[in-house]
Structure 1
Amino acid sequence: MSEKSLSEAEYDAVTDAAAHWCMRLHAGDCTANERQAFAQWHDADPLHAFEYAAMLEIWDVADHLPRTETAPALVAPFKPRSRLRTYAVAAATCLAALPLAAFTGWEAGWLPSSYERFEAADGLRRFTLGDGSQVELNLGTELVYSHYKDQRRVTLKKGEAFFNVRHDSAHPFIVHAGNGQVRVTGTQFNVWKYEDQVRVMLLEGSVQIASDQVHGSVPLTPGMQASYQRGDATPSVRAINPNDTALAWRQGKLILDNLALADALPLINRYLSKPVMLADAGTGAIRIGGIYNINEVNNLIPSLPKVLPVYLTQNQDGNPVLNSIPRKAPKG
């Protein structure tokens, strides 16, 4: 953030500008010239970048609000806690751009009373959410927690999280991940998200898995897991293998138990800045095993040609590509 001393009016002006750019960049008619002007404004001062990042989080909250064809009727200003302190006016500005039936803040259950952002940038992290629930974050995970009048809401932006949810039947705990959501009242479960793939593992209690595309939900009981991705009408549900190692990340480990590369790469790539690609289906069928430290997964890729019949190339985007070594035809 900028070290300059700003008056309240100057600070509000930056916040208002961030709200304006947030709306314009999400608008379908945003022009190339506007995007260029935004880039110049964004890079002109660290405070601009900070305020815009905060505004994007407000937008994420707004994205899950109810929508109708009726424009909003703004009423008395909502008084947020410190997490939202400087963004109250801008939040109302952003929300005014959405087709809401009405805007009555906390009482209508459309705005949260608290809003928190958590991330694990360089290691495993454990946090206590505002409702007293516990969450463990895998490396590279980002999530947002919001407390509403009638529910508790988490948006898992990327990564993996293990939840121990405090029971509160009057305020369901809802996790949005990819194109679906997990609804619980109190339980222990794990949610893994990579790109548009999501997997939910239930250890204790019960949850309902619902798709954003269709009505209805799929229940899970302890010892079950569900997976879904973009385009799925309903999640795929199966029992958790007793020898499943998916939760080894809580001890800082990535365990690949004789997996095909096609199945292993999503588990590997979520720890990498440049995801590894497969040259073809034949390469994806090659199997891999081993136990790796999640902080050292970067070292795994260069070592693969030493243990598997593959070699590495690079595509036009700079991603490493795994290629299988052709088998030599037998002589004679």
Structure 2
Amino acid sequence: MVTRSSNERARLNAEAAAWIARLHGPSGAAAEAPLQDWLDADPEHRDAFRRAGELWDLLPDAAALGEEDAVARQAPAPRRWIPAAIAASLMLLAGGGAIAVYLDQPSAFDTRIGEQRVATLDDGSRIALNTDSHVTAKLGRHERQISLDRGEALFDVAHDAARPFVVDAGDERIKALGTSFVVRRDADRVRVTLLRGKVEVTQIGAPPRLVAVLAPGERVSVGRGGAVALDRPPLDAVTAWRRGELIFRDTPLSEAVAEMNRYGDEHLVVSDARLAALPISGVFATGNPSEFAAAVAQLHGLRVQREGDDVLLTR
């Protein structure tokens, strides 16, 4: 069983309190589907939600508010919901001390190498983080500000025309309203792939420079020095990591190895330049570099050697 730090437990308490507040607020029905995703993501989410529900029952005004909600469903009338106060009360009772969820303070989400995680924001937007990624999110009154500090994430944005959803990744800024897209930040470039909706990509500066306005299926890559490339990649390959897979189509072995190395402790090594150019096609599990090495070796008549945590592909 994984032992969580006090900060992680506080974060879980805060998230559970936020879900309780949303469910008992005026948009409670819209919260049910994303809540189920959050509950299914981790068994400890269910425990935190159960504790928050028990604490909700202890709040002095909870019963009265519940009765008011029942009356409101029978005859429409202005309701006096104050979800922020409810969430803050729940978090104080839980000892989480994490009122940042409702005070516009940044929330941080990250993954270790080989790990994936789905985080649901208070507005209903969801962020799926790929391996070794870090995201900070601040939901302000006028703008939802997200920063991809490293790695890769898929953003499924809840529509809110009054609060644009903005993702910063290095010098690139992605602005969206109710859409779904993938952002990957590597050391030498940032890639944005639009799955659904519409996004505007600009380069931060004075003044900012428009890079591209993407249509569904398009990807823009911005390299060092501002070099821009636009293409339409196979979307199943772009999002394959969400299924624990990597899809290669005539991909040079060197690039395929670099992708595999993002997900595991074992390190694949190809030092021969001729081998590095070999084309690789197929679907491979992200967490099994040894299986990938064995398949490539069999396909191209190569040898697999081990040196500590390194797996070498040689002739």
> Is the TM value for this pair above 0.5?
yes
Distance 1:131 1:258, change over 3 A: same
1:113 aligns with 2:104: yes
- Contact 1:194/1:270 (<8 A) preserved: no
Task: Write the deviation string for residues 119-160 of structure 1: whole angstroms up to 9, x where unpaired.
Answer: 344643322112221122234333221223432122223332
**RMSD (Å) for aligned C-alpha atoms:** 3.6
Alpha-carbon shift at residue 301 of structure 1 (Å):
3.9
Instruction: Pick the aligned partner of 1:210 from 202, 206, 209.
Output: 202
Check 1:276–1:245 CA distance in 2 against 1; reply closer, same or farther (3 A cut). Answer: same
Partners of 1:257 and 1:236 in 2: CA distance: 19
Give the TM-score of the pair, scaled to structure 2.
Answer: 0.58
2:147 aligned residue: 155
- Distance verdict in 2 for CA 1:179–1:286, change over 3 Å: farther
* In structure 2, distance between residues paired with 1:261 and 1:181: 32
Q: Residues 85 and 187 (structure 1 numbering): CA distance in 2 closer, same or farther, change over 3 Å?
A: same
CA separation of 1:321/1:196 partners in 2, compared to 1, >3 Å: closer, same or farther? farther
Distance 1:211 1:131, change over 3 A: same
Partner in structure 1 of residue 249 of structure 2? 257
Structure-2 residue corresponding to 1:226: 220
Query: Deviations for 1:69-118, whole angstroms, at most 9, x for unmatched residues?
Result: xxxxxxxxxxxx87996999xxxxxxxxxxxxxxxxxxxxxxx7132122
Q: CA contact under 8 A between 2:266 and 2:311: conserved in structure 1?
A: no
1:289-304 pair list within 5 angstroms: 289-297=281-289, 299-301=291-293, 304=296
**Tell me, what secondary structure is at the counterpart of 1:114?**
coil
Counterpart of 1:307 in structure 2 is 299
- Paired with 2:168 and 2:258, the residues of 1 have a C-alpha distance of 20
- Structure 1: runs of 5+ lacking an equivalent: 4-80, 89-111, 326-332
1:131 is matched with which residue? 123
Corresponding residue number in structure 1 for 2:182 = 190
Structure 2 counterparts to residues 1-332 of structure 1, below 5 A: 113-121=104-112, 123-212=115-204, 215-217=208-210, 218-229=212-223, 231-241=224-234, 244-273=236-265, 276-279=268-271, 281-297=273-289, 299-301=291-293, 304-310=296-302, 320=310, 325=315
Greater RCO (Cα-Cα under 8 Å, separation 6 or more): 2
| Superposition deviation, residue 177 in structure 1 | 2.2
- Unaligned 5+ runs, structure 2: 7-87
User: In structure 2, what is the equivalent of residue 28 of structure 1?
Assistant: none
Q: Percent identity?
A: 28
2:258 and 2:186 map into 1 onto residues whose CA distance is 7
Report the Cα distance in structure 2 between the residues aligned to 1:291 and 1:285, rounded to whole angstroms: 18
The DSSP-based 3-state class of the residue aligned with 2:106 is: strand
Cα displacement string for residues 276-322 of structure 1 (whole angstroms, at most 9, x for unaligned residues): 4543543321111222222323543466434335556799xx88486
Letter matched to residue 221 of structure 1: A
Amino acid at match of 1:250: R
Per-residue deviation, 1:275: 5.2
Q: Is the 8 A contact 1:188 1:203 kept in 2?
A: yes
With over 3 angstroms needed to count, the CA separation of the structure-2 counterparts of 1:313 and 1:156, relative to structure 1, is farther
| CA distance, structure 2, for counterparts of residue 165 and residue 250 of structure 1 | 17
The residue type paired with residue 269 of structure 1 is: N
The total of aligned residue pairs comes to: 221
